Amino acid sequence: MVSEGGPERPAAVTHPDLAALVSVQLRSGDGPIPAALERGEPVDSADLLREERWPAYRAMALDSGVRSSVTIPFRHSGLTVTLSLYSFRPGALEDAPHGPARALGDLAVTCLVRDRSYRAALTELDQLGAALRTRPVVDQACGIVMHVLGCDADAAFGVLRRVSQATQRKLSDVASAVVDTRGRGLERELVSLSD
C-alpha cells in the first residue's frame, strides 16, 4: 500500500482474498497496516488464532486461512509504502522484516520516489517549454508598452502582469492581444494601469 499523507491509499495484492484484508483495515482503522503506519516500524502477529488485537481483521484473516502476518513500513521523502506478508502457517514470518522483504520494500519506495521526482521534472520541463515559446511575444508586447508609456522594461512587464491578473487571462494571451493590435486603442488603459 502507498500513502502520501492524503486520504487515497492505493494498494496492490497478489491474491483476491488479500484485498478484503486490506479493505477491512483501512475501513476500520484497526489492524497491522494502520499500526505500522502509526508506529513507523514492523507490526506482526505470529499466530492470529491466539491474537487478541484487531478483531475484524483477525476474523477475516482466519476465515481466509491466514495464520500469521507481518506489515513493514518504508518511508522516504514524504512517501510511505507498507509491505504486508501473510502465511497459512503460524510463526512463519519471524525473520521477514530483515530478509529479502526488507530489500524489496526499500527498492519499491525508492523507485516510487524517483518516479514521482521524474514526473515533477517532466511537468516543470513542459512549463518551461511553454514559457520559452511565449517569451518572444511577451518581449514584443513589453516593447510596445515601453513605447506607448515611455517606461522601462520592468515597468512595462509590470503593466502586462497587472492586466493579466485583472482580466484573469494568461500573460501570454494579454501579450498576444497587445502585439496583434500593436498597442493601438490601448493607450488610455495602459496609462491608467501604469500608475
Q: Which three cell numbers stand for residue 153?
A: 522594461
Per-residue pLDDT at 190: 66
- How do the pLDDT tens digits run along the chain, 195 residues long? 777 766 677 777 888 878 889 989 988 889 999 999 899 899 999 999 999 999 999 999 999 999 999 999 998 888 888 899 999 999 888 888 877 888 888 888 888 889 988 988 999 999 888 888 888 999 999 999 998 888 999 999 998 998 889 889 998 998 998 898 877 776 666 666 665
Dist CA 78 CA 45 (whole Å): 27
What pTM value is reported for the model?
Answer: 0.64
Residue with cell 502582469: 161
Per-residue pLDDT at 131: 81
Per-residue pLDDT at 80: 86
Dist CA 181 CA 174 (whole Å): 11
Please compute Rg for the chain using Cα positions: 29
DSSP string covering 102-138: HHHHHHHHHHHHHHHHHHHHHHHHHHHHHHHHHHHHH
What phi and psi, each to the nearest 5 degrees, are found at residue 27?
-70, -45
SS (H, E, C) 3-28: ECCCCCCCCCCCCHHHHHHHHHHHHH
Per-residue pLDDT at 124: 92
SS3 content of the chain, % helix, strand, coil (to 5): 60, 10, 30
Residue with cell 510596445: 144
Amino acid at 166: A
